[in-house]
Amino acid sequence: MKIAPGVIMYKISVIPGDGIGKEVMEATLHIMEAVDLNFDYEFTDAGDEYAAKSGIPLSEETIDIVRSSDSCLFGAAGESAADVIVKMRQELNLYANLRPVKSYPGTKSLFSNLDFVIVRENTEGMYSGIEEETEEGATATRIITRKASERISKFGFEYAVKTGRKTVTAVHKANVLKKTDGVFKESFYKIAQNYPQLKSNDFYVDATAMYFLTKPEIFDVIVTTNLFGDILSDEGAGLVGGLGLIPSANIGDKLGLFEPVHGSAPLLAGKGVANPSAMILSAALMLNYLDEVEEAKKIEKAVVKTLAEGKIVTRDMGGNASTMKMAKEVKKNLENL
Ligand code: NAI
Ligand code: MG
């Protein structure tokens, strides 16, 4: 799909949020200027700073702005993250959280040639939000439904088909969480029957955590529940060189919200030293979602080139460039592809 110059094409809601969220967002929007598409940005606010002004971290108005856009770019929230990002995932039914784990040259990746994707169920599980104080302490309710488990499994298999991947692995703990993960595992294999061309298998989450360190190359597409996916994706980030590099997508049936896996990193905030790559690659995931695959590839290539050259990179990558300086380098590389 090609567009005439000057025609507004995509309506993108933008939530920079708190801390380094604002800095990596500014850097990313700078790079988006070099993308051969037109965007109509609608800026809105959420997070700790917004709560300090308004009394609430996330307003209905912001949710409506996101809902009526084609996609949302989200930076990070601070302490209010659960009331912002977790709430948006639930309210907007962004049920699939896609987190690629990819090793790039020039990074501190523990392995070369890693390329797998974690598909995390985003709406229920341990993060269903139901916690209660009891006389003895507190309890949390882990909700696993057939509907959400089948939906996330189908998403994983469809994603594998679309991106030419071969194996889909369910990660669970059905030997202990017999009922809840029993449902999850059963739902996964029910859906797997519709994809005989793909290999499907399953592992326990604790074994998976070890395999990430001992033989991560066995993974291709992982489908898992909310908390396990959260933990494994940070481990995945550690595998390939840190949180500054890992993008993510929250996808529903009508909308996608794209954000770095990292948070507001208060220790780095305000210093202009955060690595913008995770946010930039999140924008690339957004373009993929919008079926602008060529432009998405170009952004990724420009980031990869910048990292591989390793000269103008932020300090987490061993350099001393500022967030904006690295972004300018990525933009230059994008323009010269
Ligand atoms: P964090 O991801 O903000 O930072 C952890 C550490 O990772 C940082 O201290 C830094 O060393 C490194 N790091 C993260 N992003 C980086 C980047 N772009 N460049 C270079 N290094 C980077 O996680 P933390 O410290 O656990 O949480 C800080 C705040 O962020 C908390 O208030 C938390 O609630 C919030 N948070 C929000 C999330 C969201 O909005 N989606 C996700 C995770 C945490
Ligand atoms: Mg996390």
Integer Cα distance of 295 and 318 in angstroms? 28
199-216 pLDDT, tens digit each: 999 999 999 999 999 999
Element containing residue 88 per DSSP (H, E): helix 87-91
Distance, CA of 198 to chain centre = 24
Contact 6, 38 (CB under 8 A): yes
Task: Assign 86 a pLDDT band (cuts: 50, 70, 90).
Answer: confident
Helix axis angle, 205-214 to 226-239, nearest 10°: 10
Please return the burial class of 291, using the count of CB atoms within 10 Å of its CB with bins 0-12, 13-18 and 19+.
Answer: exposed
CATH code assigned to 1-101+243-337: 3.40.718.10
Which run of H or E residues covers position 317? none
Evaluate: CB of 327 within 6 angstroms of ligand 1: no
Q: Which residue's CA is minimally distant from atom 9 of ligand 1? A: 265
What is the CATH number assigned to the segment(s) 110-239?
3.40.718.10
Phi, psi of 98 (to 5 degrees): -100, 125
Mean pLDDT of 66-92: 95
Q: List pLDDT tens digits, range 236-251.
A: 989 998 889 999 999 9
Q: Which of 72, 73, 235, 262 to mutate to test the pocket of ligand 1 (most atoms within 8 A of CB)?
A: 262
Which residue spans of the chain are classified as CATH 3.40.718.10?
A: 1-101+243-337, 110-239
Number of the ligand closest to the Cα of 242: 1
Residue 260 CA, closest ligand 1 atom number: 41
Prediction pTM value: 0.91
